[in-house]
Amino acid sequence: MASEKPYLAVTCTAPVNIAVIKYWGKRDEELILPINSSLSVTLHQDQLKTTTTAVISKDFTEDRIWLNGREEDIGQPRIQACLREIRRLARKRRSGDEEDPLPLSLNYKVHVASVNNFPTAAGLASSASGYACLAYALARVYGVESDLSEVARRGSGSACRSLYGGFVEWQMGEQADGKDSVARQVAPESHWPELRVLILVVSAEKKLTGSTVGMQTSVETSPLLRFRAEAVVPARMAEMIRYVKERNFQGFGELTMKDSNQFHATCLDTFPPISYLNDTSRRIIHLVHRFNAHHGQTKARFLKGLPVKPGRLSDELKAALGMDPTPGSIKYIIATQVGPGPQILDHPHAHLLGPDGLPKPTV
């Protein structure tokens, strides 16, 4: 057997994704198996990403993790579920070769550091990019080459969709063990390069009801949620995949809005009700509908390219919108586009941890 490295570091990045057919509700809380399939757009990492370094060493005495510069409890159940699954897959892959004994590195402890380049409170699913990045980095450092859907999903359901670029389907699956609940790419990021995504951050405050608790309550109390999962989503998935493949923005935009509306309706149908929209969110929804009505089609694509240049509104459009400006109600806007899946950063300077396995000092 070849001599093993006493130290191995891998750094990668992973993207945020935004669902256009929503995931809401689990049929298995522990395995994180959804009650319906979902479809998302992977956002470009130039604007939104998580960067993660994983280091294994024979000198480490325990597993440790740092998130955005602060050491966190690596004993958190979802982090542990990812670690256990990766190590299980690594052993399974190596034990198939009877000639070559299991490498000692499988018993090495791991240190992990992870940072987001966007505010966690922005309402973007940092857990999706975070757990996708964790799964991807751990897989590289432990030599796992199999599908990582289950590993990422055990951290955060939507994280399995951040393992691919472009447009991604998370198939709900039917098996009790969740082996068929996997993500697959519907179309690559190169398929629709002119598509743009605008993220309007209207509040930086933490949600009153977290998604984990919210989903569980909806599953327990909302008849509308069950109807949505069984009678509405399957047809919408097929319809949305068709719109993506045809690059049909009119259909894509309209179905995205309808599914978002239904998601918020199931939240209101939950008891006690959940509300993730505020007054500014509702004003934006009305603005988009009036804008589209003025142009006679779903056209909310009036900002071209990155970076975005300001455009002048015509008097006719202002009259059609019929709204007074409310300065300060939107905290900031992120203009982005469809992007690729996880990336490996080869340069040693990219590592967030030094050779001693501790976070590098920030300059």
Does residue 317 share a domain with residue 219? no
The stretches in the chain having pLDDT less than 50 are 1-3, 301-305
The number of domains in the chain is: 2
Does residue 297 share a domain with residue 244? no
Identify whether 357 is part of a domain.
no
- Alpha helix ranges (H) inside 206-353: 211-221, 223-227, 233-246, 249-269, 279-295, 315-321
Identify whether 175 is part of a domain.
yes
Does residue 320 share a domain with residue 261? no
Instruction: List residues bridging with 116 in a β-sheet.
Output: 50
Identify whether 287 is part of a domain.
yes
Does residue 301 share a domain with residue 175? no
pLDDT at 315: 86
Distance of CA 320 to the CA centre of its chain: 35
Place of tokens 């432990």: 142
Does residue 112 share a domain with residue 26? yes
Identify whether 118 is part of a domain.
yes
pLDDT at 154: 95
Does residue 284 share a domain with residue 142? no
pLDDT at 122: 53
Q: Which two tokens stand for residue 359?
A: 């976070």
Residue pair 274/214 in contact by the 8 Å Cβ criterion:
yes
C-alpha separations of 305 from 16, 124, 193, 197 in Å: 19, 21, 10, 10
| d(C-alpha 228, C-alpha 321), whole Å | 32
- Whether cis (ω within 30° of 0) applies to the bond prior to 272 is yes
Can you give the C-alpha Rg of the chain in angstroms?
22
Identify whether 360 is part of a domain.
no
Does residue 304 share a domain with residue 269? no
- The dihedral over CA atoms of 170, 175, 176, 178, expressed in degrees to the nearest 10, equals -40
Identify whether 363 is part of a domain.
no
Does residue 100 share a domain with residue 49? yes
Identify whether 358 is part of a domain.
no
Identify whether 362 is part of a domain.
no
Q: Could you give the count of Cα atoms lying within 13 Å of 70 in the half-sphere of its Cβ?
A: 3
210: containing domain: 7-277+335-350
Does residue 182 share a domain with residue 70? yes
- Whichever domain contains 237, its CATH number is 3.30.230.10
Does residue 284 share a domain with residue 199? no
- The dihedral over CA atoms of 110, 116, 121, 124, expressed in degrees to the nearest 10, equals -100
Would you say the pTM of this structure is higher than 0.85? yes
Does residue 258 share a domain with residue 200? yes
Does residue 204 share a domain with residue 323? no
